[in-house]
Amino acid sequence: MEATSFAEVWQDVFSVQPDPPQWLIIATGVIALSVVLVRGPWRVARNVVTIAHEGGHALVALLSGRQLTGVRLHSDTSGVTVSRGRPDGIGMIMTILAGYTAPSVVGLAGIVLLTGGRITALLWISILLLAAMLLLIRNVYGVVSVVGTGAVVFLISWFTPAEVQSVCAYLFTWFMLFASVRPVFELQAQRRRQPSPHSDADQLDRLTGVPGTAWVLFFGVFNLAVVALGVWLLMFAG
């Protein structure tokens, strides 16, 4: 980005970039899927999914009128969002429901920006959301994780040419779509191996009376449906 004034920066951020070639869209999708499927890269990249997951909890908690206490991100890629308010009711249900659905929603929002040619805008909106998330973090690892992710996105958006930004933006969007599904399988595996009343699915069980396994199924179906929609939008709708 070569802008030197605020007006020029604003113009660059919200300018429309040309669509990349189809082969690049496909290639970034394959790479993103590989990151999700291969254990080593997934173990590192899953931190981004945790940020989106806890961010979903936090955003809906605020929108539902709950008092947000803070967010913690852990080195095992788990996280926790603490809010105060009524312990039941629709606000609490929606707050818990938002976690496992947030990554796919983020991916879908990314597609809306990409199909509109707003590649740089996608990167800068991500930076702003990470900055807002940083204000809620209450532990050192969480700060490092959010700041590190934001720094990478900033360096890409400020110092790399449009072609590199395009590759990174499509990689991120594909990754959020595909990465929304694997944690749902991990959730069910954990519930079988080490049952816990604190998982999102089991909390929803207590709040609604609907079995936790049914909520896991809902998370899976919802995210797979968004993935299917995302693939169609990126590959065929244009």
Chain segment 125-151, per-residue pLDDT in tens: 999 999 999 999 999 999 999 999 999
Give the 3-state secondary structure of residue 64: coil
**44 assigned to some structural domain:** yes
**5 assigned to some structural domain:** no
Q: How far apart are CA 98 and CA 27, in angstroms?
A: 30
Residue 192 structural domain:
19-237
Number of domains in the chain: 1
pLDDT at 14 over 90: no
pLDDT at 200 over 60: yes
**12 assigned to some structural domain:** no
Interval 227-233 mean pLDDT = 97
pLDDT at 165 over 60: yes
**10 assigned to some structural domain:** no
pTM tops 0.75:
yes
pLDDT recorded at residue 196: 84
Q: How confident is the model at residue 17 (pLDDT cuts 50, 70, 90)?
A: confident
Q: How far apart are CA 168 and CA 124, in angstroms?
A: 12
Give the 3-state secondary structure of residue 59: helix
In the chain, what percentage of residues exceed pLDDT 90? Answer: 84
Average pLDDT, the chain: 93
**14 assigned to some structural domain:** no
pLDDT recorded at residue 170: 97
pLDDT recorded at residue 197: 86
Residue 145 burial by Cβ neighbours in a 10 Å radius (0-12, 13-18, 19+): buried
Q: How far apart are CA 21 and CA 26, in angstroms?
A: 9
Q: Which residues pair with 84 in a beta bridge?
A: 67
Return the beta strands (E) in 24-137 as ranges. Answer: 67-73, 79-84
**4 assigned to some structural domain:** no
Angle, to 10 degrees, between the axis of helix 90-115 and the axis of helix 200-208?
130
Torsion of CA 139, 142, 148, 153, to 10 degrees: -130
Q: How far apart are CA 58 and CA 60, in angstroms?
A: 6
DSSP state of 81: E
* Helix residue ranges, H only, 38-118: 39-63, 90-115
Q: How far apart are CA 18 and CA 156, in angstroms?
A: 18
